[in-house]
């Protein structure tokens, strides 16, 4: 597809279980981001991948959260031992990552609605 694809669109899990969220960015985009939106809140930055550089993990809320990006394309966000406060919409975005492109014009996926019971 032409856009950013995220799966699953909805995930319901029990407290304490691990979950994996997947993001397939736009082909050719070197930059990939994960954000989350909790109820009534703005989008919160989680992690940023740019090419082969070390990711910027400064937004990850705890060590239960991790993400990887394989082959410079698909990314997986993993949340271990989920808690109820992890319930949110997790959004992935990508961008071309080139200097000439308008900065910060991110292309978002539709998100994964995570519900931790």
Partner 1 sequence: DQQVKQNSPSLSVQEGRISILNCDYTNSMFDYFLWYKKYPAEGPTFLISISSIKDKNEDGRFTVFLNKSAKHLSLHIVPSQPGDSAVYFCAASGINAGGTSYGKLTFGQGTILTVHP
Instruction: Give the binding site for partner 1 (CB under 8 A).
Output: 4, 31, 33, 35, 40-45, 48, 56, 59, 91, 93, 95, 97, 102-111
- How far apart are CB 99 and partner 1 at their closest, in Å? 8
- How far apart are CB 82 and partner 1 at their closest, in Å? 22
Question: What is the secondary structure of 45-114 as a DSSP string?
Answer: EEEEEETTSPPB-TT--STTEEEEESTTS-EEEEE-S--GGG-EEEEEEEE---TTSPTT--EE---EEE
- How far apart are CB 84 and partner 1 at their closest, in Å? 21
């Amino acid at each position: 597809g032409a856009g950013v694809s995220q799966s699953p669109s909805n995930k319901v899990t029990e407290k304490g279980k691990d979950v994996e969220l997947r993001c397939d960015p736009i082909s050719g985009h070197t930059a990939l981001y994960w954000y989350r939106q909790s109820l009534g809140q703005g989008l919160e930055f989680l992690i940023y991948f740019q090419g082969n550089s070390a990711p910027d993990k400064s937004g990850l809320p705890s060590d239960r959260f991790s993400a990887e990006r394989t082959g410079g394309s698909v990314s997986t966000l993993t949340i271990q031992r989920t808690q109820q406060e992890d319930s949110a919409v997790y959004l992935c975005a990508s961008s071309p990552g080139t200097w000439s492109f308008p900065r910060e014009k991110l292309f978002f996926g539709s998100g994964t609605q995570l519900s931790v019971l």
